[in-house]
Amino acid sequence: MRKRLARFLKWAAIACGLLLAACLLASAGLTWITGRRLEARLAALRAAGDPLTIADLAPTPVPPAEDAAVPLARVAAAQGAFQKELTALFPGRGVADLPLGPGEQAKLRALFEAQPEIVPLLRDAASRPGYAPPFDAAATTTEMLKRSFELMSRHREASRILQSRSALLVAEGLPDEALELQIVALRLARLPFREPTMSNYLVGIACTRVAAAGVNDVLQSAPVSEAGRRALDAELALLDDPALVRRAFKNERAYSLTSVNEMSANLFWLTGWMRNDLTALMLDLFDDQIRKLDLPYAQAAATASATGRRWSPFGTLVDLLKPALASTREATERLRAATRSLRVLNAIQSRVPTEAEAPPPLDSLGLPREATVDPFTGRPLLVKKLPSGWLVYSVGKDLVDDGGDLEKDKDVGFGAPREDLPGRP
């Protein structure tokens, strides 16, 4: 009995050993096959000049005299202190909104007089052609994200400060000066688009929307010069660039691939073919999302749930990125809709008599055709003449015309406020 048990255990051990050896050989073979396929894909991306690691996201060196990061670093401490004062003066949003009461004007003017260097330094940053934010090529993804959050905070502060200064200039009856300052704010808002993470890109969109709303406040307050209108149109045209979101997605792909490598270094089992499989799924996801950037929004959104993906144990993990990428695409289209609406509004105010009642043909405004198209539908932007002035808008992501209701981005646009909106006098 004991001999039989010993023989059984011996053969069982041999069978287990053979099975383990077979598994190891299969894993090695699978690792080799998937590794070759993966390396071919990565090589093609490298050849195209796409970043694949966060080290690849390092900014191109810029001479200090041309680097916007230099004055932004000098103003960082002062603008942080100024933001605290703004928040105390305007609780909640931490930024001045029109209309300003006489008391608010006096207090706000005193704030700017107490720190006269802030706005000139921000102007200096906006005027410089290069931008190389602080960057550590050896940083981990966590360290990079922490640094990105610091930059986000600075950009938001700069946006609020310039918005507040512009509001003060409007209240003082200086619309041309206010418009010029909002153009400075639009230029500064483009800087986050040149930073490495998708979060920075989204902050750039948020700051641009703040500046664009400030521009609208100026345009509704009083007539402005034609030179100011031309400068505004030129600046808005730079924001309608599909390459910006494409770069953001490619940067996020590099960030995600670096995250996979970091996970593999920390999880003993996430090696070999499993790491290759997760990396390939990441590439599949970003390939699909970047391809959809070439599709009209409605078509891309309609196919968002159709994955057509092979099964993988890492599928759920990769799917967690989809909502963030979809939200970024939506935010991009909202930005395009807002800037195009503002360009059309600016052109209407310049070319159409104030007493006109019928909306003008959009092709009569001297703008490129693409600047008058709703990015959500591919059809022309909508224009209405309200008792308080012109309203230009896109139907927004729901693709439904809500009559120009701009609250919570039901529709997206700019112009005179709709008198029948809740809370309107």
pTM listed for this prediction: 0.88
For position 425, what pLDDT does the model report? Answer: 29
Residue 409 has pLDDT above 80, yes or no: yes
Residue 227 has pLDDT above 60, yes or no: yes
Mean pLDDT for 401-409 is 89
Comparison of pLDDT for 351 and 425, the residue scoring more: 351
First to last CA, the chain: 98
Predicted confidence (pLDDT) per residue in 270-305, tens digit: 666 678 888 888 899 999 999 999 988 888 887 754
For position 422, what pLDDT does the model report? Answer: 35
For position 31, what pLDDT does the model report? Answer: 66
CB 141 within 8 A of CB 258: yes
Residue 371 has pLDDT above 70, yes or no: yes
All residues at 6 or more sequence positions from 300 whose CB lies less than 8 Å from its CB, including other chains:
292, 293, 329
Question: How far apart (Å, rounded) are the C-alpha atoms in residues 327 and 384?
Answer: 29
pLDDT band at 10 (very low <50, low <70, confident <90, very high): low
Mean pLDDT for 36-65 is 91
Question: How far apart (Å, rounded) are the C-alpha atoms in residues 227 and 303?
Answer: 44
Q: What is the mean pLDDT of the chain?
A: 87
CB 246 within 8 A of CB 198: no
Please state, in angstroms and as integers, the Cα–Cα distance from residue 217 to each residue in 70, 86, 231, 300, following that order: 31, 19, 17, 34
- Which residue matches tokens 């919570």? 408
Question: How far apart (Å, rounded) are the C-alpha atoms in residues 116 and 221?
Answer: 25
For position 356, what pLDDT does the model report? Answer: 81
From the number of C-beta atoms within 10 Å of its C-beta (0-12, 13-18, 19+), residue 180 rates as buried
Sheet holding 412-415, edge to edge: 382-386, 389-394, 412-415
Mean pLDDT for 41-51 is 93
**Whole-number CA gyration radius for the chain:** 27
Least confident of 69-73, 137-141, 164-168: 137-141
Q: Which long-range contacts link 108-117 to residues 24+ away (Cβ below 8 Å)?
A: 108/164, 108/167, 108/168, 109/168, 111/82, 111/85, 111/86, 112/165, 112/168, 115/78, 115/81, 115/82, 117/75, 117/78
All residues at 6 or more sequence positions from 163 whose CB lies less than 8 Å from its CB, including other chains:
95, 96, 182, 185, 210, 211, 213, 214
Least confident of 13-17, 26-30, 139-143, 264-268: 26-30
Comparison of pLDDT for 93 and 63, the residue scoring more: 63
Please give the structure tokens belonging to residue 399: 């693709």
Q: At what angle do helices 175-189 and 118-127 cross, to 10 degrees?
A: 60
Question: How far apart (Å, rounded) are the C-alpha atoms in residues 391 and 416?
Answer: 6
What are the DSSP E strand ranges found in 145-198? Answer: none
Mean pLDDT for 131-153 is 88
